[in-house]
Chains A and B, each alone.
Chain A
């Protein structure tokens, strides 16, 4: 049974004058434990697709089934709960809260799950150790390098123990060395923990290291 199942997904952006079809009849199945990379030129709808899978955006039509749950029918509170417990996001521009230090940033998802402060700290320390940032726990995001910021974002995505990790060009803002480190970490998570990862990338080399690659062009899946 696929952990992600998209059927007939269409996404149309409408303004007063223009109508843009970002995704056209996308059908996709991702199995549990798979590491899927999505490739394609800029503006082809990769990130839109990832956002729709991550329930951050709404499809104009079609159905989304995640972990056996029909996601299109979920209400705001249920959606929030679902994102919190089943999904982990890694963004290209990290999206860390600059007014919180590393450990507080990592703890955030658990805060919305009403986990006790002690337990939050324990789990945050654990994941920070795993991403190799246990010595930077009290640093502010502004004091970290890009690679370290992305590791913090990965730690934040991991702390809630999600079934699916969605990464939108996680190495896009990093130099090749740091990018390779982040990719190693993602592969490790996929291999050792068996986590399902869906990653948008422009990098052919990185895509080759994933278990499956799909390609998009003009909102259509071409491969």
Chain B
């Protein structure tokens, strides 16, 4: 049957040429409008790498009535640090809290600013990459930030844990993408990484860190794949800077985050209003991400591209169903003949639908060079072509989008064929054959 249909399509190549041209144009435009939606959606559904509603951070500000102005720097630092430690202890000792960590002011997902740096591998390749990095502070030789952030071990998929004994600085934990890009592999524990450039031995001991763990993807925003980022563990809180010190905490299972937030704001915050560590705001990681996405217009852009894609799809639907509808109606006599020589209604429907499927398949295949050219020219912000996220590969994104538009076009073609053929094949063959 397929061979016969193919022969028919080939023998009518001139008439089918117009339909194929329409299908090629449709495939191309559907691809161009769907590609970004596919990419964003595929990125969005990737796991965040943490639990958005479990982890919170407290932003600090200088209390309204507190003035450092007339004090010495050492005294100012000491005042800040003592208040900061006191607040940290209060949060840590709260029965609702499971773990607490101190991080730099930009070191949480959806942070409005970021700190980027160049990093150089310590091996002979001396590869250099640029990427944002997070910072967490180790107090008294310990930190609970892994628990707060819920990072997952790249090797086991379970919670990432570091041996207590290893918590000596300078140390860092890196994402899988970072490890791949810098070293071309993921088992990089024990490797050294230099900030900026590799200095001669002994010239600056603080210019590097040792990798003590590799974590699975960790998203900085919803519509991006987990990229190449890292956490650097710093041993001390330096100076006084309420903007650069954020208290992050993770709540125990079953604790209501909002109730705890309200309790902090009503019971604890007032005590710090006149200190250098007044509480400015408390946000969950999820809320932080939402704020970031709102400000960056990520959701609006996503909605816009989705609406555009839907509109194109609607036009495609109307155009294609119309084409296939007319095509089937024009062949009513042929349908009558087929029935007169022994084809049942089901056989005719099957034959026409197979034909529609073949036309779409040929159309989509012919459109591929155009699509490949388009995707090649497209400047997508691909972070790591060698990463293990298929979303980061133009090839896979092309294939995924191709598969989507192909399925959509086949469905539309089948729908546009099914109705008129079903209708025409229901007619008595004598009536169909009379049709002039």
- A84 to B338, alpha carbons, bound, how many Å? 10
With A84-B342, A97-B334, A101-B11 already in contact, the answer to whether A56 and B428 are too (CB < 8 A) is yes
Interface size on A, residues (CB 8 A): 32
Residue of A nearest to B15 (CB): A99
B12 within 8 A of A: yes
* Interface contact A111-B340, CB-CB below 8 Å: no
* Interface contact B344-A80, CB-CB below 8 Å: yes
- Selecting from B1-9, B96-104, B108-116, B364-372, the interface stretch reads B1-9
Greatest chain B CB density within 10 A among A76, A77, A109, A112 is at A112
* Interface contact B341-A57, CB-CB below 8 Å: no
- A51 to B347, alpha carbons, bound, how many Å? 21
- Pick from A58, A77, A140: contact of B344, CB under 8 Å: A77
With A111-B4, A112-B343 already in contact, the answer to whether A56 and B433 are too (CB < 8 A) is yes
* Interface contact B428-A80, CB-CB below 8 Å: no
With A89-B341, A99-B11, A109-B342 already in contact, the answer to whether A57 and B4 are too (CB < 8 A) is no
* Interface contact B346-A77, CB-CB below 8 Å: yes
CB 8 Å contact bits of B1-33 with A (1 = contact, 0 = none): 101100110011000000000000000000000
B323 within 8 A of A: no
Main secondary structure of the interface of B (DSSP, over half): helix
> In the complex, how many angstroms separate the beta carbon of B345 from the nearest chain A beta carbon?
5
A117 within 8 A of B: yes
Interface size on B, residues (CB 8 A): 26
Chain B residues near A191: list those with CB within 8 A.
Answer: none
Residues of B within 8 A of A (CB): 1, 3-4, 7-8, 11-12, 333-334, 336-347, 428-431, 433
- A91 to B435, alpha carbons, bound, how many Å? 14
* Interface contact A80-B11, CB-CB below 8 Å: no
* Interface contact A83-B334, CB-CB below 8 Å: no
* Interface contact A108-B341, CB-CB below 8 Å: yes
Residue of A nearest to B11 (CB): A99
CB 8 Å contact bits of A34-78 with B (1 = contact, 0 = none): 000000000000001001001011100000000000000000110
Residue of B nearest to A85 (CB): B342
- A160 to B340, alpha carbons, bound, how many Å? 13
* Interface contact A56-B3, CB-CB below 8 Å: no
* Interface contact A56-B430, CB-CB below 8 Å: yes
> In the complex, how many angstroms separate the beta carbon of A206 from the nearest chain B beta carbon?
22
